């Protein structure tokens, strides 16, 4: 099949949208820090079990300490901090607005890749970048009929943006290690 990347991208988007809705249901009444700690502890246990079961992961035991520490730092930024801020923003804004803010992930990855990985992008990728930003602006600046205060919208949006930036930073910082 010649469209594997596109297919997996669509599946990833569907899974992320489903996860955001499920997170929204799960976080009602639960503080973001506690929810994030529970989710990350549960994921860490499952990840450790996976490492024990799958023989291909035995190679990871020989990673240099510098790489392990770098992966831990990127995990703390992208998962621990990013997810906690995401849950906080989700509690304030809800799933719909948070899904719009999550669209900033690709532009943030592009900017960070340009700055720190010296990557370049094509004209069409630049056009896609601008289209994403315009779509986000159009979605955010539409008149709303809900009762969310302006203060909560601003705080939720800023926290959500920082959470997506943390997630993008965590991902981009692991790229040099993956090349090794």
What is the sign of the dihedral through the CA atoms of 11, 5, 161 and 164? positive
Q: How far apart are the first and last CA of the chain?
A: 28
pLDDT at site 112: 92
pLDDT in tens, 110-121: 889 988 888 888
- Helical ranges in the chain per DSSP H: 4-27, 32-53, 65-75, 82-93, 95-102, 105-116, 123-140, 150-179
Please check whether residue 110 is in contact with residue 129, taking contact to mean a CB–CB distance below 8 angstroms.
Answer: yes
Residue 175 scores a pLDDT above 70: yes
Split at pLDDT 50, 70, 90, the class of 168 is: very high
Q: What percent of the chain has pLDDT over 90?
A: 11
Which residue matches tokens 């090349």?
179
d(CA 149, CA 17) in angstroms, rounded, equals 25
Cα-based torsion angle of the residue sequence 150, 109, 24, 45 in order, rounded to the nearest 10 degrees: -140
Please check whether residue 73 is in contact with residue 170, taking contact to mean a CB–CB distance below 8 angstroms.
Answer: no
pLDDT at site 162: 96
Residue 167 scores a pLDDT above 90: yes
Residue 98 scores a pLDDT above 80: yes
Cα-based torsion angle of the residue sequence 93, 96, 97, 100 in order, rounded to the nearest 10 degrees: 150
Split at pLDDT 50, 70, 90, the class of 147 is: confident
pLDDT at site 75: 84
Average pLDDT over residues 102-130: 86
Q: What is the mean pLDDT of the chain?
A: 81
Q: Per mean pLDDT, which of 51-55, 98-102, 108-112, 161-165 is the most reliable?
A: 161-165
């Amino acid at each position: 099949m010649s469209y594997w990347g596109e297919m997996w991208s669509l599946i990833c988007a569907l899974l992320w949208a489903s996860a955001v809705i499920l997170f929204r249901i799960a976080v009602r009444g639960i503080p973001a820090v506690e929810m994030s700690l529970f989710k990350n502890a549960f994921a860490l246990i499952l990840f450790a079990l996976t490492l024990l079961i799958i023989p291909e992961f035995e190679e990871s035991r020989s990673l240099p300490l510098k790489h392990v520490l770098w992966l831990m730092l990127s995990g703390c930024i992208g998962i621990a901090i990013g997810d906690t801020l995401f849950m906080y923003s989700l509690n304030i804004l809800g799933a719909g607005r948070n899904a719009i803010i999550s669209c900033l992930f690709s532009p943030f990855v592009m900017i960070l890749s340009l700055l720190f990985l010296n990557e370049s992008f094509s004209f069409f990728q630049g056009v896609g970048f601008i289209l994403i930003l315009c779509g986000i602006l159009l979605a955010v600046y539409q008149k709303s009929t809900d009762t969310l205060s302006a203060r909560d919208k601003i705080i939720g949006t800023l926290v959500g943006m920082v959470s997506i930036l943390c997630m993008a930073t965590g991902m981009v910082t692991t790229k040099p290690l993956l090349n090794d």
